Amino acid sequence: MLVAYGPEGQPVVADERALSQLQKWSQQRQLFCPNCRAVLHLRGGPARRTQLHFAHRKGECPWSTEEESERHMRGKAVLAAWLRQQFPAASVTLEERLPEPNRIADVFVSHADGQRLAVEFQCAPLELDEWQRRHQAYQQAAITDLWIIGSNRRDKQEAFQEAILESSGLLIFLDPLLTPARVWLRWPLSAQALQAWQEESTGSARTLDLSTGGWVGRLGYGVTLSTTLAELQISAQGEVNHPLRAAYERRLRLRHQMMFANHVDEDLLAAYLYNTVSADMIERVLRPLLRAYRSDPELLRRYNYGRGTAEQPLQEADRQRVARACAWLRHLARQGFPPERLREVAQEIPFVGPYAAFVRYIEMLVTLAQSHH
């Protein structure tokens, strides 16, 4: 355990006191179990490359039936540090003994506005009904419970994991023994959404360390995002997310709208490109281009690289409009929007629904502007 009572009955957290002070108290038998009041001794520490902690000398503590693993202790310590960083104004305590429900939360967060969050780090197997009992007890006590699973259980197909997934929509696995502590987020995706994710991942947002697969119970398989604990964000309501995952989900929703749109929409496109294309590029190049396209989507097809089509020979008015568009693009190139960059931006636009034709339009126009020197 990471918390003991000191000589005056004050809570003493292992990592938060000078080692020499703790050693002295330990030798003087002045550290006590907060639960059974038995004498505790100091164990582990940096010299032994293990988590510094307190342990009963012998005999079982009625409150802890099994030997606590290094992984579990380390996990509680890194989770508390992360939660303190996430909630600087809240009180974050380790091994908090809660009268209601009658149990010890691994880490407990108490917000100034009264919201409370219990974080449980589960490294050992857990029966489904035991998980349900604890989850319901927290809910009845109006405490949000967040379950984080030891990475040692990542490949176990356990009913309690499935229950956590169903209640929160997300599985969080933690390996606190790595430095920095690593996290895997796993959640289910339909086959269709999975394909869209994979298409998204081939675009500019390749930074996401994403793999498919990973059991998510009867929901089948999902995606797993590998990241560090420090990158995770948590809301006061206990909802955990990763900024890249949130950005991806947002883009997926927009992409879905674009796929089933009747026509190309400026604002929808701007919203989709918000994170990957500069505001300048959107305002000064893409929006005017999209307006020109919408006013006459067939212009470049009729122009057909200056050859016209069999049904429609080239009109002088069309030739002049294309020439003006090319002059405009060359002007933009001198303003810092070179054609190569325009091609890259065109590739950022999803090739779906009515947007596919707009992508071809941009590519064709850039080709014309480059050849009309």
Q: Considering the complex, state which of residue 76 and residue 242 has its C-beta at the smaller distance from Zn ion.
A: 76
Q: What's the residue count for the chain?
A: 373
Q: What's the CA gap between 194 and 203, in Å, rounded?
A: 15
Instruction: Pick between residue 33 and residue 109 the one whose CB is nearest to Zn ion.
Output: 33
Instruction: Report how far residue 174's alpha carbon sits from residue 368's, in angstroms, rounded to the nearest whole number.
Output: 54
Count helices and strands (H / E) in the chain.
13, 14
For 218, phi and psi rounded to 5 degrees? -70, -10
Q: Minimal distance in Å, beta carbon 188 to Zn ion?
A: 41
Q: In this structure, are strands 182-188 and 171-175 parallel, antiparallel, or unpaired?
A: antiparallel
Q: How many CB atoms lie within 10 A of CB 2?
A: 23
Q: How far is the CB of 30 from Zn ion (least distance, A)?
A: 15
Q: Three-state SS string across 33-73, please?
A: CCCCCCEEEEEEEHHHCEEEEEEECCCCECCECCCCCHHHH
With respect to Zn ion, which residue has the nearer C-beta, 57 or 307?
A: 57
- Structure tokens that stand for 360 in this block: 């071809």
Nearest distance from C-beta of residue 32 to Zn ion, angstroms:
8
Q: Output the smallest distance, CB 36 to Zn ion, in A.
A: 3
As measured in angstroms, the least distance from the Cβ of 221 to Zn ion is 42
Q: How far apart are CA 57 and CA 52, in angstroms?
A: 15
Q: How far is the CB of 56 from Zn ion (least distance, A)?
A: 6
| Alpha-carbon radius of gyration of the chain | 29
We find the least distance from the C-beta atom of residue 195 to Zn ion, in angstroms, to be 53
Q: Which is nearer to Zn ion, 65 or 179 (CB)?
A: 65
- Shortest spacing between CB 245 and Zn ion, in angstroms: 40
* Cα gap 287→265, rounded to integer Å: 10
Tokens of 211: 């793999």
- Which residues are at the interface with Zn ion (CB under 5 A)? 33, 35-36, 61
Token pair for 75: 């996990």
Residue carrying the six token digits 């938060």: 16
Pick 36 or 333: Cβ nearer Zn ion? 36
Q: Which is nearer to Zn ion, 33 or 277 (CB)?
A: 33
Query: How many C-beta atoms surround the C-beta of residue 354 within 10 A?
Result: 16
| Pairwise CA distance, residues 61 & 38, whole Å | 8
Which of 33, 164 has the CB closer to Zn ion?
A: 33
Cα–Cα nearest to 269, from 282, 284, 280, 252:
282
Q: Give the nearer residue to Zn ion in terms of CB position, either 61 or 364.
A: 61
